[in-house]
């Protein structure tokens, strides 16, 4: 009766929506394409923010906040950039409502002389500020970040993965030259890898995007790519070296040491609430979510097995004392986050709420545990033995002593499980395009698992690259990135037959 | 050469703008009425968020995130509410741009069927969700909060105090009855008082707003009011008991214990980046800002007096070791926030940067300090003795030992100074409207100090209250609130001559 209404194998997309909704992550809102993020989803985003923000600061960036609305003319300055975003911009045209024939409408007398765009990303308005702030090489590097909401009007939306509004951080930096800007671009990518792998327990492949998948206006785009349980890739973070494109468009120049004027080299990089969707599709199982301990807003949840009897008070006291003791300790570098669920609901319902959310350790304490000084608990990442729920019992002092170690082990187990899946599902044996067609071109039952392929190519550009894209698209494939780790020698390009120069990953993707 | 270009006495509004800009708080943006919040301002807002968020969670609220955009029709449901906000709403009407005659314009084919409003506040969309989530008395109270940006199209804007876009938190709760909702309303007000007085060191008066100053749609509005150094009042936070107005408009009903259906009673409450403006106008002096230690992103800033000489390296090491030692300690409940300013700039310029920002303790360490194992520092809140900067020297170990106490003392000194000003400038001797006219009606030189007045009234309503408003407005006055602490007996109302029932505060206000 408590199981999810659908399993991953039955219908992966439907399973995903079910987990998001039933595990208190988010729900659709009456505003088209936008979501309401609920406490467990929000708590996970806040954990991500803490971890990412710390790394951003420790590497010398400072937080700013720029306006939500950007004048339309700012976008027109960088042609590729505006082309990339114009089709999905929310446009503010009026600043007042008025009752017209009894109905509230935008007041025609309050039309803006220049429309304002809800930021889809902030390069243009931040670049404008950089052009004012940067005068000399002494002002460089300028390294900033902001946490913000952005809007891209998507036609087909899915909670967390693709929503019209999403939350993100966007880093923007300016540097004296390419070398310094490239170092920053790679530093940001490494920060992303670190948080996503070490905190979210999602293994990724770092690499460079091909020319046709670059951020609009970038010289080079790097990404971290994660494999979901249905074999699809999810781009989990991107870092862009923008060259001098935005500096030219917005006149970001500095006086160099010799007194001459030079263009700054800029970067930008971002991660978003999309990662929460990626985490669910990496770690969820048929009982709901399994939240990595380092990301869990509540790591240990204690459910008192109350029975509306006189003993209840004593039981509650026992649970509260246990939680107080746990919160004094420390796991994963910070005090453990333990919590007693005192909600007015049936204990079994509460237990399943926390199973679905994926609280790492769920303790169910009954009068017998309290009397015996014990703790009965389940480990969410290994919930079942066969079909049965597997529970463990320890003395209270042993549980308190072992909890940090249990959480650390679960963090590692979740990562290892996902890493093994990633490693096992990147095919290196598809050495011709015919092989690719054979593997990916076979009739797909809904949800049939297809992994990634590691193939070699000659890195064509322009029309030739476009043709590659078309051939892949016919198989619903895209190039994810060219991984940092490259082979020492190359065979022929699977697309052109010419000598290959690079290994790339191809996959179906979100 | 380092002084601000204007003093408080010369021109208070101009002084305020100068501090905001020169102390790295914020600057105007190219988007009309919106600001760019810079690192020191952002760091202070983040400190506020930490302190407020902790209290919000500890009192049983959970964080959500609701959409930025609200369908226009949602506002039409509560008549007073929409009337209060319709004149300042930013309206999204299109979801795409298109090049028309070579110019990018909103695409006429991408006009929204229903315009979307950038939230000025979120009662309407959150109320809609409440109506779906709340089914039974067991679902109550429902206590949520969100941190968000909101937009109110103001015609005359001032950095932090009144901007078209601002950052805030908005709490929204639903309860079984008035008593429970009123308890929540007062709890929120007390959280605000606690953060504003104890962390921001700004003394406030808590009280209820008169009928004509209520939040649009509220039954009762409470505020905390602070006195700025020019004598004006700043509303620093508000908490609203909304009765069943929003519950009726949005059908928030629950099944009560007897099985009947009842309307929920709701509350909402908010504090915003406006508080940063209030903090500057409370604690700033003619050298810039004096940031209360509990709010300072950097509490102790060390400026090495580098001279481009070989000794510089040793000096830097000494400074870094000092900061590392300070950061291990703890003050005001968390590790001290100490920092070495290694920027490539003249030490004297750096010192004045930190004086303007108001870092509480600023250490200037020269080779002689390093050699002697000493720390030379200034206390920002008592920077000068006469015209001269007053510096202190302690041995390094004494400084490390005393720093937490120094910071705590400065926090108290700033609060006490502001509290003494507040207490000294609320006049209780203006017992007739003629007295009020005489005091406030005299020709105002720009910047002449006028405090507040505590007067008694009969609490008129409707047209009589409107008349009171008009009479006060002629003197540029408003009623701030009816303080919680009320006298035991009353004389006549200064407006109507009838027996008074309440004491209220009147003041000029931001």
Structural fold of domain B12-91+122-283? BirA Bifunctional Protein; domain 2 (3.30.930)
For residues B347-359, b (16+ Cβ closer than 10 Å) or e, as one string? beebbbbbbbbbb
The alpha-carbon radius of gyration of chain B (Å, integer) is 26
User: Span A112-141, mean pLDDT?
Assistant: 96
| Cross-chain residue pair B86–A97, CB shorter than 8 Å | yes
**How many other CB atoms are found less than 10 A from the CB of residue A175?**
23
- pLDDT-derived band at B332, boundaries 50, 70, 90: very low
- pLDDT-derived band at A109, boundaries 50, 70, 90: very high
| B38 lies within 8 A of chain A by CB | yes
| B125 lies within 8 A of chain A by CB | yes
| Higher pLDDT among residues B331 and A264, named by residue | A264
Residue B199 is classified by DSSP as I
Quick one: closest CA in A to B166, which residue?
A: A67
Distance of CA B421 to the CA centre of its chain: 19
| B88 lies within 8 A of chain A by CB | yes
| B75 lies within 8 A of chain A by CB | yes
- pLDDT-derived band at A346, boundaries 50, 70, 90: very high
Whether A117 contacts A72, CB under 8 Å: yes
What's residue A331's pLDDT?
45
Q: Largest Cα–Cα distance in chain A?
A: 83
Quick one: closest CA in A to B46, which residue?
A: A63
| Cross-chain residue pair A128–B70, CB shorter than 8 Å | no
Residue B141, preceding bond cis, omega within 30 degrees? Answer: yes
Nearest by CB: B31 against A69, A87, A90:
A69
Whether B449 contacts B426, CB under 8 Å: no
What's residue B477's pLDDT?
96
Candidates B42, B95, B114, B140: best to mutate against A (most CBs of A within 10 A) is B95
A371 Cβ contact partners less than 8 Å away, ≥ 6 residues apart: none
Candidates A36, A58, A335: best to mutate against B (most CBs of B within 10 A) is A36
All residues of chain B having their beta carbon less than 8 Å from the beta carbon of residue A30 are: 71, 74, 125, 128
Collapsing DSSP states into helix, strand and coil, what is residue B10? coil
Structural fold of domain B293-419? Rossmann fold (3.40.50)
| Higher pLDDT among residues B442 and A247, named by residue | A247
* HSE (side-chain half, CA atoms, 13 Å) at A144: 27
Residue A72 has pLDDT above 80, yes or no: yes
| B257 lies within 8 A of chain A by CB | no
Residue B331 has pLDDT above 70, yes or no: no
Nearest by CB: B68 against A72, A88, A165:
A165
Give, for A223, the enclosing helix (H) or strand (E). strand A220-227
Q: Largest Cα–Cα distance in chain B?
A: 83
Nearest by CB: A165 against B67, B98, B151:
B67
Predicted complex ipTM: 0.96
What's residue B442's pLDDT?
78
Q: What confidence tens digit (pLDDT) does each residue in A300-332 have? A: 999 999 988 888 999 999 999 999 999 985 544
Specify the CATH number of the domain A293-422: 3.40.50.800
| B509 lies within 8 A of chain A by CB | no
All residues of chain A having their beta carbon less than 8 Å from the beta carbon of residue B255 are: none
What's residue B176's pLDDT?
97
The domains of chain A are located at 12-68+130-283, 293-422, 426-507
All residues of chain A having their beta carbon less than 8 Å from the beta carbon of residue B98 are: 86
- Could you tell me the two tokens for B87? 């004149």
Q: Residue A30 class from Cβ within 10 Å (0-12 exposed, 13-18 middle, 19+ buried)? A: middle
Nearest by CB: A104 against B67, B82, B88:
B82
| Cross-chain residue pair B43–A29, CB shorter than 8 Å | no
All residues of chain A having their beta carbon less than 8 Å from the beta carbon of residue B35 are: 67
- Measured CA distances, A452 to A196, A225, A438, A479, A480 (Å): 20, 11, 14, 10, 9
What's residue A83's pLDDT?
84
| A383 lies within 8 A of chain B by CB | no
* HSE (side-chain half, CA atoms, 13 Å) at B263: 14
Residue A289 has pLDDT above 80, yes or no: yes
- pLDDT-derived band at A77, boundaries 50, 70, 90: confident
Residue A334 has pLDDT above 90, yes or no: no
What's residue B311's pLDDT?
84
The lowest-confidence range among A9-23, A83-97, A487-501, B79-93 is B79-93
Strands B330-331 and B300-304: unpaired
Q: What confidence tens digit (pLDDT) does each residue in B437-492 have? A: 999 987 666 557 899 999 999 999 999 999 999 999 999 999 999 999 999 999 99
- pLDDT-derived band at A3, boundaries 50, 70, 90: confident
Rounded to a whole number of angstroms, the distance between the first and last alpha carbons of chain B is 31
User: Span B102-119, mean pLDDT?
Assistant: 95
| Cross-chain residue pair B96–A89, CB shorter than 8 Å | yes
User: Span A280-307, mean pLDDT?
Assistant: 97
B30 Cβ contact partners less than 8 Å away, ≥ 6 residues apart: A71, A74, A125, A128
For residues A45-72, b (16+ Cβ closer than 10 Å) or e, as one string? bebbeebbbebbeeeebbbbbbbbbbbb
Structural fold of domain B426-507? Translation Initiation Factor IF3 (3.30.110)
Q: Residue A349 class from Cβ within 10 Å (0-12 exposed, 13-18 middle, 19+ buried)? A: exposed
Residue A333 has pLDDT above 50, yes or no: no
| Cross-chain residue pair A74–B30, CB shorter than 8 Å | yes
Residue A163 has pLDDT above 80, yes or no: yes
| Cross-chain residue pair A90–B86, CB shorter than 8 Å | no
Residue B292 has pLDDT above 90, yes or no: yes
| Cross-chain residue pair A93–B94, CB shorter than 8 Å | yes
Distance of CA B222 to the CA centre of its chain: 15
All residues of chain A having their beta carbon less than 8 Å from the beta carbon of residue B43 are: 63
Among left, alpha and beta (phi > 0; psi -120 to 50; other), residue A466 is alpha
- Nearest residue to B427 via CA among B249, B217, B293, B231: B231
CA gap B178, B167 in Å, rounded: 30
Distance of CA B267 to the CA centre of its chain: 20
All residues of chain A having their beta carbon less than 8 Å from the beta carbon of residue B37 are: 64-65
- pLDDT-derived band at B80, boundaries 50, 70, 90: confident
Pick the CATH number of A12-68+130-283 from 3.20.20.70, 3.30.230.10, 3.30.930.10, 2.60.40.1930: 3.30.930.10
CA gap B218, B182 in Å, rounded: 12
Q: What confidence tens digit (pLDDT) does each residue in A428-440 have? A: 999 999 999 999 9
CA gap B479, B505 in Å, rounded: 6
Nearest by CB: A63 against B46, B66, B138:
B46
All residues of chain A having their beta carbon less than 8 Å from the beta carbon of residue B31 are: 67, 69-71, 116, 125
One-character DSSP codes across B22-77: HTTSEEE-SSTT-EEEPHHHHHHHHHHHHHHHHHHHHTT-EE-B--SEEEHHHHTT
| Cross-chain residue pair A76–B138, CB shorter than 8 Å | no
Whether A104 contacts B86, CB under 8 Å: yes
Quick one: closest CA in B to A342, which residue?
A: B60
| B67 lies within 8 A of chain A by CB | yes
All residues of chain A having their beta carbon less than 8 Å from the beta carbon of residue B69 are: 31, 34, 90, 151, 165
Strands A91-94 and A165-175: unpaired
One-character DSSP codes across A67-131: -SEEEHHHHTTSHHHHHHHGGG--EEEES-EEEETTEEEE-GGGEEEEEEEE-S--HHHHHHHHH
Q: Residue A388 class from Cβ within 10 Å (0-12 exposed, 13-18 middle, 19+ buried)? A: exposed
* Residue A120 main-chain phi, psi, to 5 deg: -90, -15
Look up tokens 């020709």; give the residue: B443
All residues of chain A having their beta carbon less than 8 Å from the beta carbon of residue B45 are: 65
Query: What number of residues does chain A have?
Result: 510
What's residue B499's pLDDT?
97
Mean pLDDT of chain B: 94
What's residue B310's pLDDT?
87
**How many other CB atoms are found less than 10 A from the CB of residue B447?**
15
- pLDDT-derived band at A443, boundaries 50, 70, 90: low
């Amino acid at each position: 009766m408590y199981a999810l209404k659908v399993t991953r194998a039955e219908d992966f997309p439907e399973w995903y929506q079910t987990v998001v909704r039933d595990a208190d992550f988010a729900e659709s809102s009456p505003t088209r394409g936008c979501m309401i993020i609920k406490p467990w989803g929000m708590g996970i985003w806040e954990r991500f923010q803490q971890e990412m923000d710390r790394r951003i600061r420790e590497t010398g960036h400072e937080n700013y906040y720029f306006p939500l609305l950007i004048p339309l003319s700012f976008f027109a300055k960088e042609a590729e950039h505006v082309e990339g975003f114009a089709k999905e911009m929310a446009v503010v045209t009026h600043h007042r409502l008025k009752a017209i024939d009894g109905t509230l409408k935008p007041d025609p007398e309050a039309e803006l002389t220049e429309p304002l765009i809800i930021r889809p990303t902030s390069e243009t308005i931040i670049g404008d500020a950089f052009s004012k702030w940067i005068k000399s090489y002494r002002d460089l590097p300028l390294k900033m970040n902001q946490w913000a909401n952005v809007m891209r009007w998507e036609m087909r939306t899915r909670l967390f993965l693709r929503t019209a509004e999403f939350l993100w951080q966007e880093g923007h930096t300016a540097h004296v030259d390419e070398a310094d800007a490239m170092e920053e671009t790679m530093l940001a990518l490494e920060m992303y890898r670190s948080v996503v792998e070490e905190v979210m327990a999602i293994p990724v492949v770092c690499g460079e995007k091909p020319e046709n998948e670059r951020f609009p206006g970038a010289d080079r785009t790097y990404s971290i790519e994660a494999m979901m349980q249905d074999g699809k890739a999810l781009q989990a973070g991107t870092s862009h070296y923008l060259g001098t494109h935005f500096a030219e468009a917005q006149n970001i120049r500095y006086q160099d040491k010799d007194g001459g004027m030079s263009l700054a080299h800029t970067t930008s990089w971002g991660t978003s609430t999309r990662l929460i969707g990626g985490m669910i599709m990496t770690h969820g199982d048929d009982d709901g979510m399994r939240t990595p301990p380092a990301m869990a807003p509540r790591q240990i949840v204690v459910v008192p097995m109350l029975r509306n009897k006189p003993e209840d008070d004593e039981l509650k006291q026992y649970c509260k004392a246990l939680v107080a003791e746990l919160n004094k300790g420390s796991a994963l570098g910070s005090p453990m986050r333990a919590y007693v669920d005192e909600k007015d609901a049936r204990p079994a319902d509460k237990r399943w709420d926390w199973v679905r959310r994926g609280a790492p350790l769920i303790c169910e304490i009954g009068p017998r545990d309290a009397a015996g000084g014990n703790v009965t608990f389940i480990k969410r990442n290994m919930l079942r033995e066969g079909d049965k729920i597997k529970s463990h019992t320890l003395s209270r002092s042993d549980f308190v002593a072992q909890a940090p170690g249990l959480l650390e082990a679960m963090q590692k187990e979740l990562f290892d499980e996902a890493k093994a899946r990633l490693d096992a599902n990147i095919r290196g044996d598809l050495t011709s395009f015919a092989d690719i067609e054979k593997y990916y071109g076979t009739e797909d039952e809904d949800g049939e698992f297809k992994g990634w392929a590691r193939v070699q190519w000659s890195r064509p550009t322009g029309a030739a690259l476009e043709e590659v894209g078309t051939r892949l698209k016919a198989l619903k494939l895209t190039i994810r990135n060219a991984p940092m780790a490259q082979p020492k020698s190359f065979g022929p390009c699977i697309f052109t037959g010419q000598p290959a120069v690079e290994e790339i990953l191809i996959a179906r993707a979100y």
